[in-house]
Structure 1
Amino acid sequence: MRYGLGIVLGLMVLPGLVFAQKNKPANGNRVVMVVGRPMTADDSLMVRQLFFSALREKTVENFTLATEEFNQILSMDPQNDATLFELANLAKLKNNYSDARDFLEKAVTVKPDNQWYWVALADCYEKNNEIDKLENVFNELIRIDPDKVDYYYDKANVYFLQKRYDDALGVYKQIEEISGITDDLVAKRQAIYLKQGRVDQAAADMEAMIAANPTQVRYYLFLAEVYNSNGLQDKALATLQSAEKIDPNNGQVHLALADIYRDKKDNEHSYNELTAAFTVSDLDIDQKLKIVLNYVPKFPDANAKASALELSRLLTVAHPDDSRAFALYADMLLQNGKYKEAKENYKKSVQMNGQVYEVREQLIRLELGDNDIDGALKDGQDALSLFPNQAWLNYLVGVAYQQKKDFKKAVEYVKNASELETQDKELLSQAYSSLGDCYHSLNDLTKSDQSYEKALTYNPDNSYTLNNYAYYLSIRGIQLDKAAEMSKHSNELQPGTASFEDTYAWILFKQKKYAEAKTWMEKALVHNNKDNSPVQYEHYGDIMFQLGDINTALQNWKKAKDNGGGSPILERKINEKKYVE
């Protein structure tokens, strides 16, 4: 329904209080006729006082007392239309549209020329789904104000709902005589033609608009939609190609062409039209954002990812001042594994608009991944000034401090994260795992063990927690069976990880299972062939010594030294040519 005026009636005060005056005696006293007896001047005065009192109570939302006072007026003056109207509004506040309807039906019998009463009554009929009663309402409103086009549209809408399409078309003809042809009128008339299956008539109507306005591209778009929605793709394509000649830089035309080509399975032309549309800065960016995001469900298809990446890049060219363009481009770069470029575009987005939390978090994650610890700390602290209660943000800043080896600061922020979030098991598992690492570095072994245990309650398959906890237990030479079980599980969860294999080999070594330890350490050395780890070489040397292969042990201890190992114990192993605890 178009009669939007009804929604504000509850806020309106009528321009004047109108009481039903039936006669006026010679002495000049105003008399209002009521059932049973005429009102005296005192009665009339009381009615006025009650009315204003009720309005005051309504204003302060004392609706119960307001209703009582309005009803008291009706007991004295049953035809007081202003009171009937106010009681209808009070009933609407309670969503009691049946009572509101009854009051308003009485009000319009008293004052049939008051259009606000009729508009309010129309609202009640609609809310009560009494559509059949609306026709008379709009007939009355048109009678009161025959030049108000909205009432004609409302009447036509009633006919449309009742599927009285020819009657609706008749009303649209009246509208055309009053206000001439408009886009709204043509669109509504087309909707009826299409409901009636009269596609040719709908197209002819729009072709007439094009003939009268040959340079107005929007009419070509409307006509193409009529054709396309009714399976006439070739006609739609020809119409849009005509529009493109008139305005080659019209983004909506290019989008419409992209849709047509896509429906015709011509993906190359469809994509070309999309790229043309994305270069048009006048085309709404929200529409473009939705188009790019529609590619995401098609990931990890390489073509979909590449298309989304290029379209999002074009967004930044067409909308260089919109932070959303750079955020989306960064997202697509991330999806394509271009982490450095993604980081730079997240930074640009933040510089334009720092209020988007998700963008800030992604930036910090990439900085940590790129080992840009100072950048992560700076951007993390900036973000925390705006979003201090974001658990993940506190955790990421804590991890940055952990990487800086400022373990006390790290504990502070990671503990904040664990206290701010109580439901996210992934975060809690990672947070307590980080606390375990930090407390170990601070030599608070009790808290370290407790933190690892708690991390595993949230995620018993956290491979990094299992590995680190197991390794630190083995270093201390305690609970080796538990350590072996955890380390073995971490390797099952993430096979081929050199550091995990090294840990398991070392635990087996501590358990004096030297042959098994040798097997696992050799796996670690193979899988870590790009990183000559002095720790792994030293461990392998220790294992080989216990297996009686002194030469191989000495070779690996020397490799450990050559690759950065420089502990006094390693020096003793090399010099004394034997294993030293």
Structure 2
Amino acid sequence: MNKQSWRNNNREGRMGNGYTVAVLSLAVCFLTINTNAQQKVSTGKPMTAFDSTEVRQLFFSALREKTVENLKHASELFERVIQTDPRNDASLYELANLKKIQNAYADAQPLLERAVAIKPDNEWYWAALADSYEKSNNISKLENVFDQLIRINPNKPEYYYDKANAYTILKRYDDALKAYDQVEQITGPTDDLLGSRQKIYLKQGKIDKAAADIEKAITDNPGQIRYYLLLAEIYNSNGLSDKALKVLQQAEKVDNSNGMAHLALADIYRDKKNTDLSFKELTLAFAAPEVAIDQKIRIITGYYPKFPDPNAKGSALELSRILTLAHPADSKAFAIYGDMLLQNDKLKEAKAAYKKSLELDDKIYAVHEQLVRVELSQNDLDGALKDGENALSLFPNQAWINYLVGVAYAQKKDFGKALGYVKNATSLEIQDKELLSLSFSLLGDCYHDLKNNKSSDEAYDKALAVNPDNAYTLNNYAYYLSLRNEALEKAAQMSARSNQLQPNTASFEDTYAWILFMQKKYADAKIWMEKALSHDKENSAVKYEHYGDILFNLGNTDDAVQNWKKAKGYGEQSPVLERKINEKKYIQ
């Protein structure tokens, strides 16, 4: 049972332990102390003037300790007051509040029960006792408490609501409805009352009764769409979708621009498997600015599980486009539009959407990262560097953007700068294995191009320690070892693994063929090079030169020369290739 469910949300501000109650309790305390001077303690012995003075001093000392939050000492002083004057209701109340602050509600209850017994007309005492019963889940005792609060303040609707909520928890539904009838006598008909009664009727299974109340509200207020929506929800949630549809169609005639009505219709059509009508209603709902943008974004992201289905991607894209028209000043609209454009391979348009999102709000890191990723995909290295470094000025400790800027510098052959950014990425993120693997692999590439083989090998080893199955790292590391004619057996194992992980990749097959060639396994090298050529979409000059080298070492000089000439025709201009062709022999 939810301990909070019986109360109205505003009770804490109304009768809680806040500043207002503390101030009001002081007035209660003054009155209590003055009158108690004439009362008798439980032993029957009359209080003396000395007793009264001591009580007053102890009480104000306790209040001072409470004010400076010395709760333990304050509690001790209030207890001493109660020992001297057991009928000091103000001290009972204050001590109970201190118990409640420490979540000792069971200890607070008897103190408050004594306080209300002494001062049965004190509204604050009863309210505190109600709170204590509620917090300790002693719901059955709440009826009497609210009866007393209503007796003291009969025109306060909140007490009737709270009493009704307690009845609801106790499943005394008819009593709850009677309490709501009493509220209506004070406030007249309200939406809160209507909604509260609906919950009771539905718990009782009285759908017709719930519907009748709302139909009356519609008759009295035919232009208020919220009543149509409420009635449709009751019907739809209870399996009466046809009735719900008719109500919403009626609402649509009353106000065709109401986005929430279109949204509800979209749900019903979707449940009825009418995809076209459902999407049509969604587009109308998305065009309505009053429908919250976050709700619309949740609908768009609901399409994600259906990707890469082109219909799902197309629908999400259209809805996100409409979103930007309905919310042209909201950066989130353009951010999600950029995401959907990216999903539909519209990189140029996605880049523009992300830039617009950042113009509206540049404090959303994810948009910066997406923009730089798009620019790298377009090979817009200058744009990636500009926007990436701008992102780092706002988010210097984001590892991924450091890595992406490092990638841009590496692709521009500025390996020194690339190293700095990629090292930052590895120092900022130690949990993201994907990022660490990519970063160490890129460090290996950069060190290789800087002729620092030792650091390059160390970086590749770190990359593979994080992710042993990073196919690109395995391929590059293996290839660079083969170029140096070092650790060829290790290189062969890594290259073979990369081809297992990502088969039919021409560059990986070329690497493996070349390593086999370096191991003088020419027949095997020929098989793998022919695979590489069959999968090559770019007519790589290097691959044809390698194939010629393999053929020559297998004794097929004429075919070797023909492939060397192909390599030259595809753009290879090295002096060594010229010598191979002219001298008709393999030259290292």
State TM-score, norm by structure 1.
0.95
Q: Is 1:464 matched up with 2:472?
A: yes
CA contact (8 A) 1:31 1:41 kept: no
Partner of 1:27: none
State which of 540, 545, 567 in structure 2 corresponds to 1:538. Answer: 545
State which of 260, 276, 281 in structure 2 corresponds to 1:252. Answer: 260
Partner of 1:376: 384
Q: Is 1:18 matched up with 2:27?
A: no
> Counterparts of 1:314 and 1:101 in 2: how far apart (Å)?
57
Residue correspondence of structure 1 range 569-580 to structure 2 within 5 A: 569-580=576-587
Partner of 2:342: 334
Deviates more, 1:348-357 or 1:123-132: 348-357
Q: Is 1:558 matched up with 2:565?
A: yes
Deviates more, 1:78-87 or 1:293-302: 293-302
Q: Which amino acid aligns with 1:2?
A: N
- CA positional deviation for 1:446: 0.7
Deviations 1:193-247 (A, max 9, x none): 2222222221111111111111111111111122222222222111111111110
Partner of 2:148: 140
State which of 252, 266, 274 in structure 1 corresponds to 2:282. Answer: 274
- CA positional deviation for 1:452: 0.9
Q: Which amino acid aligns with 2:134?
A: E
> Counterparts of 2:87 and 2:378 in 1: how far apart (Å)?
80
CA contact (8 A) 2:33 2:56 kept: no
Q: Which amino acid aligns with 1:438?
A: C
- CA positional deviation for 1:22: 7.8
Residue correspondence of structure 1 range 92-171 to structure 2 within 5 A: 92-171=100-179
CA contact (8 A) 1:6 1:120 kept: no
Residue correspondence of structure 1 range 293-442 to structure 2 within 5 A: 293-442=301-450
Distance 1:560 1:246, change over 3 A: same
> Counterparts of 2:110 and 2:23 in 1: how far apart (Å)?
19
- CA positional deviation for 1:91: 0.7
Residue correspondence of structure 1 range 181-200 to structure 2 within 5 A: 181-200=189-208
- CA positional deviation for 1:280: 1.0
Deviates more, 1:307-316 or 1:440-449: 307-316
CA contact (8 A) 2:265 2:278 kept: yes
> What is the CA RMSD across the aligned residues, in angstroms?
1.9
State which of 28, 33, 36 in structure 1 corresponds to 2:40. Answer: 33
Q: Percent sequence identity over matched residues? A: 63
- CA positional deviation for 1:564: 2.9
- CA positional deviation for 1:134: 0.5
Partner of 1:74: 82
CA contact (8 A) 1:2 1:150 kept: yes
> Counterparts of 1:102 and 1:3 in 2: how far apart (Å)?
26
> Counterparts of 1:283 and 1:10 in 2: how far apart (Å)?
36
State which of 459, 477, 495 in structure 1 corresponds to 2:503. Answer: 495
> Counterparts of 2:309 and 2:118 in 1: how far apart (Å)?
70
Q: Which amino acid aligns with 2:184?
A: E
| Unpaired segments ≥5 residues, structure 2 | 1-6
CA contact (8 A) 2:33 2:88 kept: no
Deviates more, 1:536-545 or 1:458-467: 536-545
- CA positional deviation for 1:32: 4.9
- CA positional deviation for 1:534: 2.2
> Counterparts of 2:355 and 2:46 in 1: how far apart (Å)?
81
State TM-score, norm by structure 2.
0.93
Deviates more, 1:240-249 or 1:169-178: 169-178
State which of 2, 18, 22 in structure 1 corresponds to 2:8. Answer: 2
CA contact (8 A) 2:225 2:255 kept: yes
Distance 1:389 1:22, change over 3 A: closer
Distance 1:6 1:40, change over 3 A: farther
Deviations 1:26-63 (A, max 9, x none): xxxx5453344333444333333322322222232221
> Counterparts of 2:242 and 2:345 in 1: how far apart (Å)?
40
Q: Which amino acid aligns with 2:486?
A: I
Q: Is 1:291 matched up with 2:291?
A: no
CA contact (8 A) 1:350 1:359 kept: yes
Deviates more, 1:547-556 or 1:87-96: 547-556
> Counterparts of 1:366 and 1:312 in 2: how far apart (Å)?
18
Partner of 1:84: 92
| Unpaired segments ≥5 residues, structure 1 | 25-29
- CA positional deviation for 1:10: 4.6
Count of matched residue pairs: 575
Deviates more, 1:49-58 or 1:485-494: 49-58
Residue correspondence of structure 1 range 190-269 to structure 2 within 5 A: 190-269=198-277
CA contact (8 A) 1:391 1:418 kept: yes
CA contact (8 A) 2:99 2:107 kept: yes
- CA positional deviation for 1:335: 2.5
CA contact (8 A) 1:295 1:308 kept: yes
Residue correspondence of structure 1 range 518-529 to structure 2 within 5 A: 518-529=526-537
CA contact (8 A) 1:402 1:438 kept: yes
- CA positional deviation for 1:182: 0.5
State which of 479, 496, 500 in structure 1 corresponds to 2:487. Answer: 479
Distance 1:381 1:110, change over 3 A: same
Deviates more, 1:531-540 or 1:85-94: 531-540
- CA positional deviation for 1:250: 0.2
Deviations 1:428-463 (A, max 9, x none): 111111111111111111111111111111111111
Q: Which amino acid aligns with 1:217?
A: I
> Counterparts of 2:166 and 2:245 in 1: how far apart (Å)?
35
> Counterparts of 1:393 and 1:21 in 2: how far apart (Å)?
68
Deviations 1:150-171 (A, max 9, x none): 1111111122122222212212
> Counterparts of 1:284 and 1:6 in 2: how far apart (Å)?
29
- CA positional deviation for 1:378: 1.5
Deviates more, 1:542-551 or 1:262-271: 542-551
- CA positional deviation for 1:23: 6.3
> Counterparts of 2:18 and 2:243 in 1: how far apart (Å)?
50
> Counterparts of 1:346 and 1:291 in 2: how far apart (Å)?
20
Partner of 1:568: 575
> Counterparts of 1:23 and 1:219 in 2: how far apart (Å)?
55
